[in-house]
């Protein structure tokens, strides 16, 4: 079983749609959680951290469910520029120091006209 699992997609959605991705993790001691965005053949970049209470940044909402060990990313009003691969990242370092970041394989999103 993978430590961090994501549906690889692709998710093909029309512009303006709302799309949601889930990510499950196996280590219940995981400390912190993130979503990174990776454009084709480019480096990953932090999209947002995921807080226990849930957090929102413009059209993006991230949520954490520790009991069920999953995190989610919701994108509202999708834009063509949102087309990318979204990586779920889990910090499994028990000290919280970030030395054990485990990356999911990513979910590919394609937003179409």
Partner 1 sequence: EAQVTQNPRYLITVTGKKLTVTCSQNMNHEYMSWYRQDPGLGLRQIYYSMNVEVTDKGDVPEGYKVSRKEKRNFPLILESPSPNQTSLYFCASRRIQVNEQFFGPGTRLTVL
What does the binding site for partner 1 look like in residue numbers (CB under 8 A)?
4, 32, 34, 41-46, 49, 87, 91, 97-99, 101, 103-106
Q: Which is nearer to partner 1, 11 or 35 (CB)?
A: 35
Q: Which is nearer to partner 1, 32 or 76 (CB)?
A: 32
Min dist CB 62 to partner 1, Å, is 14
Q: Which is nearer to partner 1, 39 or 112 (CB)?
A: 39
> How many residues are listed for the chain in this entry?
113
Q: Which is nearer to partner 1, 1 or 41 (CB)?
A: 41
Min dist CB 58 to partner 1, Å, is 18
């Amino acid at each position: 079983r993978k430590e961090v699992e994501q549906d690889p997609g692709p998710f093909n959605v029309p512009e303006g749609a709302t799309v949601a991705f889930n990510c499950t993790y196996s280590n219940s001691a995981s400390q912190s959680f993130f979503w990174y965005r990776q454009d084709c053949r480019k480096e990953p970049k932090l999209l947002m951290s995921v807080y226990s209470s849930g957090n929102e940044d413009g059209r993006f909402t991230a949520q954490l469910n520790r009991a069920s060990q999953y995190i989610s990313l919701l994108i509202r009003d999708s834009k063509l520029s949102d087309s990318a691969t979204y990586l779920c990242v889990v910090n499994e370092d028990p000290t919280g120091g970030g030395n054990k970041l485990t990356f999911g394989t990513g979910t590919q999103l394609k937003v179409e006209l």
